[in-house]
Amino acid sequence: MTISIKTSAEIEEMRPACRLAGEVLDYIEPFVKPGITTEELDRLCHLYMVDVQGCIPAPLNYAPPGYQPYPKSICASINHQVCHGVPNDRLLKKSDIVNLDITTIKNGWHGDTSRMFIVGEASILAKRLARVTHECLWIGISQVRPGARLGAIGSAIQRHAEANGFSVVREFCGHGIGRNFHEEPQVLHYGKANEGPILEPGMTFTIEPMINAGKAAISELSDGWTIVTKDRSLSAQWEHTVYVTATGVEVLTLSSGAPPCPDSIRIQA
């Protein structure tokens, strides 16, 4: 496993892509209402990224080995969809929850983030799942500091999710990021705290827990991309791109409109 260690100059070059990714979510939030389609949300985000921000939507035509090119500029995963939901003409309705996943490319660097949106008034379970998953994200981030093991992130996330009666998706994980969309290391959202490589200043990666209200098992839809819970229970995901600093962690995709770290969680900057 070769993990890219970015220099201070490279981190500065990467910052704009991460900032822009977060700002796309700030921009699109007012549009996430009953009656809009995820295809329209994709169109609006695409135009904003290309025409306003002057960046490239990384998912569009992305084709890792074994996959057909991804056809849209964002991922939009609704209710029991876990991740990689392909925007389409389905109308959002009151009580839906939807994850919008944004990855931008600016000057050759990537920024990756996602956020949960509650459409209208969701159920108590849906709101609780979204809240606990957001806590899982920040609990994972709170483990990041030089000298810590990568496994501490997943261990802390798994412990919090399962303590609240939820399950952690195993098949998908966070990932290193920089000049490439996906780099080493793989950042699991479960596991043992004393396992994995030691974190070093200059590492950049995503933390993006996918938490299910039911069982952890998943399946893939016929479009070849959209992942759903096998038992059709609700799923939620939050994501940030983080940077291991000399003393702790910095969240590179944190934007002015992003929900902040919960007060109960302490981050070592």
**CATH assignment of the domain containing 183:** 3.90.230.10
**Separation between Cα atoms, residue 56 and residue 174, nearest integer Å:** 21
| 218 bridge partner residues | 229
Note the pLDDT of residue 51.
Answer: 98
pLDDT tens-digit map of 121-144 = 999 999 999 999 999 999 999 999
pLDDT at 162 over 80: yes
Note the pLDDT of residue 269.
Answer: 87
**Separation between Cα atoms, residue 154 and residue 5, nearest integer Å:** 21
Note the pLDDT of residue 255.
Answer: 98
Which of these, 207, 138, 134, 177, lies nearest to 15 by C-alpha position? Answer: 177
pLDDT tens-digit map of 180-198 = 999 999 999 999 999 999 9
Question: Amino acid identity of 147?
Answer: G
**Separation between Cα atoms, residue 233 and residue 194, nearest integer Å:** 31
Residue 267 belongs to a domain: no
What confidence category does residue 83 fall into, taking pLDDT thresholds of 50, 70 and 90?
A: very high
| ∠ CA 80-95-42, rounded to 5° | 65
The pLDDT of 61-76, averaged and rounded, is: 96
**Segments forming the whole domain that contains residue 40:** 8-251
Residue 263 belongs to a domain: no
Question: Under 8 Å CB-to-CB from 51, ≥6 apart: which residues?
Answer: none
Residue 262 belongs to a domain: no
Instruction: Give the single-character DSSP code of 91.
Output: B
Which of these, 46, 10, 54, 9, lies nearest to 27 by C-alpha position? Answer: 46
Residue 174 belongs to a domain: yes
Note the pLDDT of residue 61.
Answer: 98
Q: How many CB atoms lie within 10 A of CB 12?
A: 10
pLDDT tens-digit map of 1-29 = 799 999 999 999 999 999 999 999 999 99
Residue 258 belongs to a domain: no
pLDDT tens-digit map of 34-62 = 999 999 999 999 999 999 999 999 999 99
Residue 51 belongs to a domain: yes
Pairing of strands 227-229, 174-176: unpaired
pLDDT at 84 over 90: yes
Note the pLDDT of residue 1.
Answer: 73
What confidence category does residue 104 fall into, taking pLDDT thresholds of 50, 70 and 90?
A: very high
pLDDT at 164 over 90: yes
Residue 74 belongs to a domain: yes
How many domains does the chain contain in total? 1
Residue 32 belongs to a domain: yes
Edge-to-edge strand list for the sheet holding 249-251: 183-187, 174-176, 204-207, 240-244, 249-251
